[in-house]
Amino acid sequence: MIEQILVIVSVTSLVMVSPGPDMLLVLRNTFAGGRGAGLQTSVGILSGNLVHITYCMLGIGLVMSQSILVFSTLKYAGAAYLIYLGVMSFRSGVKTLDVNDIEGRRSNRPWFIQGFVNNLLNPKGTLFYLGVFTTVMTPEMSASTMLVLILSMMLVSASFWLLFVYTLDQPIIRDYIERSQEVVSRICGVLLVLLGVRMASMSR
């Protein structure tokens, strides 16, 4: 059990610190809407993780990974969504946002939905959890052991997002946001578009 937990924690930690669509979206939304927006986006991402875990446990993940049609549909839908978010972020850079106005705008944007959809449409999430469920979590494993390992994965992910968002919300970084919001929004927009293009061109 201890060895399996260490493997799960290590693999999950490596995946979390690797830059990707989820990290960039949390970064962009925290810059745009403050701590609340970043945390809501993170909760959406964690909810998407639970969906990936559920269908992998049911065996549907294997079917998805083997089906060219399903995988391609998921891949292009995710790519299109990233490109859409990127364009919106780039366009929002035209208008600078006063950090003092952030509180009034938090509830007006679907931060949770953005995080959830972004994570759900990422085919790499499917492949990651499928890999975990075929190498670390085997059908012979007891339900209690599997539950502990799943909780370990989610705890690592949740801890990372909390640390990430609260770091971005530090005063020195918020001051930078206030001075450079237009540039940050446009950079995030370009990176999201590039990630979308990269996702559309990737193979399994």
Domain of 96? 2-201
Please give the residue that has the higher pLDDT: either 166 or 2.
166
Torsion of CA 12, 113, 171, 13, to 10 degrees: 0
Cβ–Cβ < 8 Å for 63, 131: no
Each residue of 116-173: pLDDT tens digit? 999 998 877 877 887 777 777 766 778 888 889 899 999 999 999 999 999 988 888 7
Q: How many domains does the chain have?
A: 1
Percent of the chain with pLDDT over 70: 86
Q: Which of 41, 42, 64, 40 has its CA nearest to residue 52?
A: 64
Q: Are 181 and 97 in contact (CB under 8 A)?
A: yes
Kindly state the average pLDDT of the residues 2-14.
85
Most confident of 22-26, 56-60, 125-129, 185-189: 22-26
Residue 178 confidence (pLDDT): 66
**Token pair of 177 as six digits:** 């946001």
Ordered alpha helix ranges (H), the chain: 2-17, 21-57, 60-66, 68-92, 102-105, 111-120, 123-135, 143-168, 171-201
Q: What is the pLDDT of residue 44?
A: 96
DSSP 141: S
For the chain, percent of residues with pLDDT exceeding 90: 22
Q: Please, what is the Cα angle at 94 between 180 and 119, to 5 degrees?
A: 80
What is the tens place of the pLDDT at every residue in 88-127? 777 765 444 444 444 444 455 699 999 999 999 887 787 7
Amino acid identity of residue 121, one-letter, is L
Distances, alpha carbon 175 to alpha carbons 24, 103, 168, 179, 201, in Å: 19, 16, 11, 6, 37
Smallest CA-to-CA distance from 7 within 123, 140, 137, 125 is with 137
> Which amino acid makes up residue 20?
G
Mean pLDDT of 19-29: 88
Please give the residue that has the higher pLDDT: either 101 or 66: 66
Cα separation of the two ends of the chain: 31
pLDDT mean over 59-69 = 72
Look at residue 157 in the predicted model and tell me its pLDDT.
Answer: 94
The residue assigned the tokens 């971005």 is 168
